[in-house]
């Protein structure tokens, strides 16, 4: 059980180089093909005397966008360097979210940056949209993180479809881990039921030859994200695995509290599945 293809978004953000190096390390760990992907979207039409004028990008603009993508691809290959495994590049004259979502069909695992929704959707990637649209597990990389060796993994459990999907998607990582913890945040009154859930998850992982070092129920007056991040800090966790909860309302992505908190506030990498 492994990942055969790791895909990474290559962007213009300051953290892009570190993200590429991290993805390259993951591909090396799993003996996987590494695919770099980027999108450059056309700027919006302009308005003249109340009318929207849209002739599409000119030939010169298309040429400039193509050269920009070529530069990103060359930089990606230079960062990865010579390796003994396949490396591919996919650049698209399209919005980054469209380029990554479309290319996701070729990936087992997608590596992107974390953080809030960007202002420049023509050159930058909205991580929340990728989680909800890609149909693949997504590793969120916080700014400043350059490597991911998932020796200690925390599974944030909730008895939902998304959490079950994330647990299955993370099995290759869990097989590689030295320590796996499973935690559920719940009110004190639900602790007994939560422990039964965690015991069942532990037995499921044991059937996949993955030993769970500890199961934990967390009770906190603050947010569930705060409780999970605090545990991750205390245990020096390398990766948090969780379900990605969200939906679209009138064209705007709406997220659950834990997903929103991990998107913008986790100090460690997160593997999320929707």
Confidence of residue 251 (pLDDT cuts 50, 70, 90): very low
Quote the DSSP letter at residue 42: P
Q: pLDDT tens across 61-110, in order?
A: 889 989 999 999 999 999 999 988 999 999 999 999 999 999 999 999 99
The four Cα atoms 111, 122, 79, 177 give a dihedral, to 10 degrees, of -10
Average pLDDT taken over every residue of the chain: 89
Confidence of residue 250 (pLDDT cuts 50, 70, 90): very low
154 near 183, Cβ under 8 Å? yes
pTM (global) more than 0.85: yes
Position 183 pLDDT exceeds 80 = yes
C-alpha 240/C-alpha 100 separation (Å) is 22
- The region of weakest confidence among 40-49, 87-96, 245-254 is 245-254
> Exposed, middle or buried by CB within 10 Å (0-12, 13-18, 19+), for 57?
middle
């Amino acid at each position: 059980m492994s990942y055969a293809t790791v895909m990474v978004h290559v962007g213009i953000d300051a953290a892009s180089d570190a993200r590429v190096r991290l993805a390259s390390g993951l591909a090396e760990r799993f003996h996987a093909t590494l695919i770099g992907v980027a999108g450059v979207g056309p700027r919006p039409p302009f308005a003249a005397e109340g009318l929207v004028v849209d002739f599409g990008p000119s030939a010169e603009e298309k040429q400039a966008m193509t050269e920009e993508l070529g530069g990103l691809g060359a930089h990606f290959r230079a960062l990865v360097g010579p390796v003994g495994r396949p490396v591919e590049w996919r650049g698209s004259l399209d919005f980054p979210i469209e380029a990554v979502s479309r290319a996701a069909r070729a990936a087992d695992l997608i590596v992107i940056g974390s953080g809030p929704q960007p202002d420049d959707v023509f050159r930058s990637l909205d991580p929340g949209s990728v989680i909800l649209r890609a149909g693949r597990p997504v590793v969120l990389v916080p700014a400043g993180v350059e490597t991911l060796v998932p020796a200690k993994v925390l599974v944030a459990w909730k008895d939902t479809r998304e959490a079950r999907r994330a647990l299955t998607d993370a099995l290759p990582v869990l097989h590689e881990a030295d320590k796996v913890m499973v935690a559920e945040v719940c009110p004190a009154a639900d602790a007994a039921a939560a422990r039964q859930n965690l015991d069942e998850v532990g037995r499921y992982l044991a059937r996949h030859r993955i030993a769970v070092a500890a199961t934990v129920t967390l009770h906190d007056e603050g947010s569930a994200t705060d409780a999970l991040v605090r545990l991750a800090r205390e245990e020096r966790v390398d990766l948090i695995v969780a379900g990605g909860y969200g939906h679209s309302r009138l064209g705007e992505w709406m997220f659950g509290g834990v997903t929103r908190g991990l998107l913008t506030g986790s100090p460690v990498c997160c593997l999320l599945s929707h």
